[in-house]
Chains A and B, each alone.
Chain A
Amino acid sequence: SAVISQKPSRDICQRGTSLTIQCQVDSQVTMMFWYRQQPGQSLTLIATANQGSEATYESGFVIDKFPISRPNLTFSTLTVSNMSPEDSSIYLCSVEGQGTEAFFGQGTRLTVV
């Protein structure tokens, strides 16, 4: 199984600022995924990050708001830009395992004030 370290675990940020979330995996993986979970809601995919190419964003999410980096096969970052209270959510990174598994980081609980 893959071990994923996600940082920070939580943060309280001022509106208009940006926060970068880091995700480190203990093994090389092709695809990494970033999800958002708004309060009381289910998880929604923000984007898929492949090493060496631009991230692929889901409908409703744009690169200017959620820029993603994927510099190598074990690391990715998601930035939440120009934050507003509506961005208060849990953000989670995820990777595939051996085809029958999908693992998540510990999540970043973001509160925007």
Chain B
Amino acid sequence: AQKITQTQPGMFVQEKEAVTLDCTYDTSDPSYGLFWYKQPSSGEMIFLIYQGSYDQQNATEGRYSLNFQKARKSANLVISASQLGDSAMYFCAMREQHGSSNTGKLIFGQGTTLQVKP
């Protein structure tokens, strides 16, 4: 069965510093997609970044980058130059595959609460 694990319930970072949020996954499918979302206290889910299993390079989107280590089955999110507005819950997710079929379903980790200190 596919599984996502986030082992950091909470993290603190100083404003303007970089922070890494950990995510490991487990799947036997060779094709999969990994996502990171930000959830502020309002409850909305904000898409941050995507990494495909066959992508040769680590994904980057502005201040967000994904440290993809396929052999270790890890997909850590790196936020550079943290801002106060980055304080939120962060979820790692994997798109479920059944063989060659993409079900479209997302499997989520337990989340990490990030607090940025001024």
Contacts and interface: CB of A to CB of B under 8 A. Distances in A.
Interface of A: 31, 33, 35, 37, 41-45, 48, 90, 92, 94, 96, 99-107, 109
Given A102-B35, A103-B47, A42 B106 contact: no
Contacts of A105: 44
Contacts, number: 56
A48 B111 contact: no
Contacts of A100: 33, 50, 52
14 contacts: A33-B104, A42-B91, A42-B108, A43-B45, A90-B43, A92-B43, A99-B102, A101-B50, A102-B35, A102-B95, A104-B37, A104-B45, A104-B47, A106-B43
Contacts of B50: 100-101
Contacts of A31: 104
Interface residues of B, number: 22
**At the interface, is chain B mostly helix, strand, loop or mixed?**
strand
A107 B41 CA distance: 11
Contact of B44 (A35, A96, A104): A104
B33 A42 contact: no
A33 B102 CA distance: 14
B114 to A, nearest CB: 15
A107 B105 contact: no
Nearest to A37: B43
B46 to A, nearest CB: 8
B108 A102 contact: no
A102 B43 contact: no
Contacts of A104: 37, 44-45, 47
B105 A48 contact: yes
